[in-house]
Chain A
Amino acid sequence: MAGVSLRNVLKSYGELQVIHGVSMEIADGEFIVILGPSGCGKSTLLRMVAGLEVISGGQIAIGGRVVNELEPKDRDIAMVFQNYALYPHMSVYENMAYGLRIRGLPKSEIDARVQKAAGILELGQYLERKPRALSGGQRQRVAMGRAIVREPQVFLFDEPLSNLDAKLRVQMRGELQALHRRLGTTSLFVTHDQVEAMTLAQRMIVMNAGRAEQIGAPLEVYARPATTFVASFIGSPPMNLIPKDGKLLGVRPEHLEPCSPADAMLTIELDLIEPLGSDTLVYGHIADGQSVRLAARLHASAPAQAGKLPVRYAPQHVHWFDPVTGKRIGP
């Protein structure tokens, strides 16, 4: 197994630059999630690690070896694609064995590896089926099996759960975590889903418009977003950003608590109330006439009705950002 180093990685298509220098050291065995909205370059970054896209600048090293010029098969990686990309005419067994057969492994070794992977993924009874005869979750598992049998240095996942329904996604998320605990292989996982990122990642890299906005452990990123983009991308509803004294004041919806009008630090003019059972989300704008939208997460028992809601927040929950650069100010 091996770590991965990204050193000022650049990607451009002709004049158009899509990745503007991403650097990161990924330790051996780490589970890294690359998170960002569509078109931020996260898949491109992953495909550059895989060797499916040419690296325009900088270096990518896997296990200390610079792989810029290497073909995917020589990088010792395995990739799981969003639409699974299983070979439709091959059985589950053949799908998993294909890469090993090309590498010229002996039949007995191939069989041992496929059987082992099928055991881990509980695919034993489906080995003779064609992908067409499998459900989405089973296909996903075959795609993972195809990656596992290669016993690679690094797993690359390109939004592997986004084609599954919500319930299956939660289940596969759990299986992925268990798989990573079991195999301990360095993994890069691309997603636009912040819940996947928060639950799977040991560290995550939040990308926006081809730049890494923040790299860190999920809770650390949540607690101390480095930029307004990260602050509003992670967390649902996103962090409230209120202009104050020439700066931007950020406070998460769950840190706003209702209070008496005398204690109010803010007053929200409510116009939308969403009772979720466990808690209630309320939305509105600041009552002082500014058009700033606010959201608050209230305890389910709190009375919520349209009208003015005075709220306050504790000073330790306040974040400050520069309104021009969007960067975090202070600790």
Chain B
Amino acid sequence: MPEQLVYAMEVSLNGLMAGVMYALVALGFVLIFKASGIFNFAQGVMALFAAMTLVGIQTGQVPFAHMINAIFGTKIHHFGWEIHSVIAIVLTVFVMIALAWAVQRFIFKHLVGQEPIILFMATIGLAYLLEGVADLMWNSEIKKLDVCLTDGTCLPQGINLAIDEATYNIFGYGFFIDNLDITATIIAIILVAALVAFSQYTKQGRAMRAVADDHQAALSVGVSLNYIWILVWSVAGFVALVAGIMWGAKSGVQFSLSLIALKALPVLMLGGFTSIPGAIVGGLIIGVGEKLFEFFMSSNDLAGALFGFTMNATENWFAYVLALIFLVFRPQGLFGEKIIERV
């Protein structure tokens, strides 16, 4: 098999894995948009906030320590204990539920019936507020993320040796697949299955779908909009936590985590804002597309031989170009709902 084809296969596999990581972020956007029609600009910051809270709880950091010390002249930073990852994750989920309640209670409850652009602007404000609160609570340091199970198994990173060996035996070249990406893929599959099961088989899930379909109709049969929106923001907060853990394991937990939202936008444009499968498929298409394009354009043997020049760092813009091309043919995205409005 030609060398370049083998490399392209490796790149494609890695693209699929990267796509799953993008989809993890996109899922949070879809959940909130589907249920409330709000494009949540703060989803990336929610991932940052969740990951920082997780590490903060895990390492026994005192929230708002700098502020407390500055006001009272104390020198407290840590409680002096460490909490196991599993318990820390559960506690973080509670914090995200509290955040969902606060967002609903103090922001969106007062904006019911407002134009979508107003709601969108409110989420921009929420993003800045949440970023500032995260900074005050947990400070700006870059934190190492160690998430382990009760049996001591931690999030794995680095090359998967089994795949490396297997592909070497077949192609004479061992593929690199990151163990973290494989873990993220498994978690994403479980997450999507759980979300689908929740929305199909639970009372709350069905109520969520009812609200997503028609607010007024849901209200008329006694579904509490307030409760459902808190529920949706809580679920989105949980998804943000998962995304924050996976991305934070790569780069450390730091403020740049909020920028992962940029990776989700082309996925949403392509997959549609209202479809969970769309977020997954969109993520995969964007992941593979951008990686293959980068591989092709940066190769002397491919783009160099064909065009006489090579290009680097194409991924960011290519993802958007790919999404725009899809939009030309399907403005609602691959799986989005086609809305026809009659005047």
Do these two chains really belong together in a complex?
A: no
Chain B positions within 8 Å of A, measured between CB atoms, are: none
